[in-house]
Every structure is written in C-alpha cells, then in structure tokens.
Amino acid sequence: MANIAFVTGATSGFGAACARLFATHGWKLIICGRRQDRLESLRAELAASVPVHAFPLDVRDEAAVNAAVAALPDEFAAVDLLLNNAGLALGLEPAQRCDMQDWHDMVDTNIKGLLYCTRAILPGMVERNRGHVVNIGSVAGSYPYPGGNVYGGTKAFVKQFSLDLRADLLGTRVRVTNIEPGLAESEFSLVRFKGDSAKAGQVYEGTRPLGPEDIADIVFWVATRPAHVNVNRVEVMPVCQAFAPFAISRALDG
Ligand code: NDP
Ligand code: 8X3
C-alpha cells in the first residue's frame, strides 16, 4: 500500500519540491496552499504518476484546517507524513519599527497554522500507531540576526514544539523531525520583501544557496529511515554560509 504525504505550502519552494520528490517515489499526495492556480498545475503534473488530493487552504484558518482534514477522502485519510512547511518571513526591520500586522501574520502562519494542522492530523496517527510529523523550522530559530525578531521567534517555537511533541509521543511509533535550513533560494525572500524582486535577488547574489530540492532530499531521507529511527533535528546550511561573531557597539562607553 502506498504511503500518504500531506504537504502544506505545496504551491512553491520546499513544499512543491517535496511533493514532486515523494511522487517520484510513489507516495500518494495531499497538497494545499492558498494559490489555486499553482495548486491546480501541480496537481495536474503529479496526478500523471500518483493519486493526488488537492484543495486550497489558508493554514491560519483553524476551522478550514479541521474541515479539510475531516473531509479527506477515505483513500487519503490515513496520513503517514505531515509536512508542516507552510510559512513565511515578513520584513527585516528592527523590532521597534516592524509592522505589527507582519508579526501577526508570521505568528498566525508559522506557529498557529502549524499547530492547527498538527492537532488535526495527530490523533489519527496515534490511533494507527504510525506516522511522522516533519516540521520546517529554520536556523533562524537557533541563531539571532538583526531583523529576524519575530520570524526567528516563530521558528524557535517550532523547534521546541517538535521536541516537546516527541516527549508526548513516547510509547507510540509516531515520529517527529524538525528540519532547520539556512539560506535557501525560493520565493521566501520575494515574500519577505513583499514582491521587491531586486531586493530579494540581492539575498542570493554571488552565493550558492541551498535549493528546494536539497531540502526535499533531506525530508525524504528522514521519512525513509527504518521505523525505529527518529531523526530529531537536521540543521543545514549551504557551504557559503556560516556564523557571524558577536556584535559589539562601541557607542555606549558611558
Ligand atoms: P516559499 O515562499 O517559496 O513557499 C512558502 C509556501 O508556504 C508557499 O507554498 C505558500 O503558499 C505557503 N504559505 C504561506 N502562507 C500560507 C498560509 N497562510 N496558508 C497556507 N500556505 C501558506 O518559501 P520556502 O519554500 O522557502 O518556505 C517554506 C518553509 O521553509 C517556510 O516555513 C519557511 O519559513 C521555511 N524556511 C525557508 C528558508 C529559506 O531560506 N527559503 C530557510 C529556512 C526555513 P501560498 O502563498 O500559495 O499559500
Ligand atoms: C530562513 C533562513 O536566515 O533567512 O528561515 O532566516 S533566514
């Protein structure tokens, strides 16, 4: 029987790459996202090789998440892998100048949306004593950088929540993994800079960033370890990225 993967944020970047990779390995796919045109073209592409269930979903809408999970067709209901990938960064301003709505949107998507999806899918996994929740965190959840503020905070939540889920799931065969990528080229920066493609392009200029396929490769690897193996966290950066020294201001000597 084919495995079933439920991918949030499948309309772009990591989510689309994961859906494609899992499909090449014969997994049945549940795909969602807000952009219906993107969703439909991915559905049509994947449906040539595997069964696909696609529906528009804003993960910030708890009732819609619950309704979508309750309405899964029988052949898609026993989800083996939930990939909590939908997420975004908005802005890179210092905290004192951030747009409050951006903070709401990041918390509502990266934290609350992930919680809604997890809470809706998890009981079935526990009941079946089988399943894997793979969350997409970020290096931003471990290492601060100027302007990371709430984005970093949401990903720190995802990291800790993933570890705490493991604690709750002890005694079951349900696995949990947090993937924590660094610089990766997708629509991420275009979204962060609200459609400013020149600014988004500068982020990757002269670098060899990770690509969505690199992340898909890791997600697929953690998902296909032997059933007794739980990869807790994977932190991954491109070779062109490393850590900054601590920043010290010399303007405050008084
Ligand atoms: P993209 O912008 O390319 O993809 C983000 C996906 O999330 C899109 O499919 C988008 O779909 C979906 N999404 C956003 N908001 C919502 C929402 N409210 N409801 C449903 N879907 C939503 O970026 P990435 O692929 O890079 O990002 C995927 C994940 O990886 C995010 O969680 C991001 O924080 C994380 N990440 C990214 C890194 C990077 O450098 N690129 C590094 C580390 C982590 P739609 O707009 O159609 O709803
Ligand atoms: C995305 C990586 O460094 O742009 O989560 O925050 S970073």
User: What tokens does 110 get?
Assistant: 């990266």
For ligand 2, whether the C-beta of 139 sits within 6 Å is yes
Contact assessment for residue 183 and residue 243, using Cβ atoms and an 8 Å cutoff = no
- Distance (Å, whole) CA 21 – CA 49: 12
Q: Is 146 left (phi over 0), alpha (psi -120 to 50) or beta?
A: beta
Domains along the sequence of the chain with CATH: 4-236 (3.40.50.720)
For ligand 1, whether the C-beta of 88 sits within 6 Å is yes
Contact assessment for residue 4 and residue 30, using Cβ atoms and an 8 Å cutoff = yes
In this prediction, residue 101 carries a pLDDT of: 98
Phi first, then psi, for residue 9 (nearest 5°) are: 65, 45
Residue 24's contacts (CB-CB under 8 Å, 6 or more residues apart) are 49
- Distance (Å, whole) CA 88 – CA 19: 18
Q: What is the pLDDT along the chain (254 residues), one digit of tens a residue?
A: 899 999 999 999 999 999 999 999 999 999 999 999 999 999 999 999 999 999 999 999 999 999 999 999 999 999 999 999 999 999 999 999 999 999 999 999 999 999 999 999 999 999 999 999 999 999 999 999 999 999 999 999 999 999 999 999 999 999 999 999 999 999 999 999 999 999 999 999 999 999 999 999 999 999 999 999 999 999 999 999 999 999 999 999 86
In this prediction, residue 253 carries a pLDDT of: 81
Q: Which residues pair with 28 in a beta bridge?
A: 4
In this prediction, residue 1 carries a pLDDT of: 82
- Determine the atom of ligand 1 nearest the C-alpha atom of 39: 47
- Candidates 137, 153, 8; CA nearest to 81 is 8
For ligand 2, whether the C-beta of 154 sits within 6 Å is no
Contact assessment for residue 27 and residue 2, using Cβ atoms and an 8 Å cutoff = yes
- Candidates 16, 27, 81; CA nearest to 51 is 27
Per-position b or e across 157-179, b if 16+ CB within 10 A of its CB: bbbebbeebbeebeeeebbbbbb
Catalytic status, residue 151: yes
Which pTM value belongs to this model?
A: 0.98
In this prediction, residue 209 carries a pLDDT of: 98
CA-nearest residue, atom 6 of ligand 2: 140
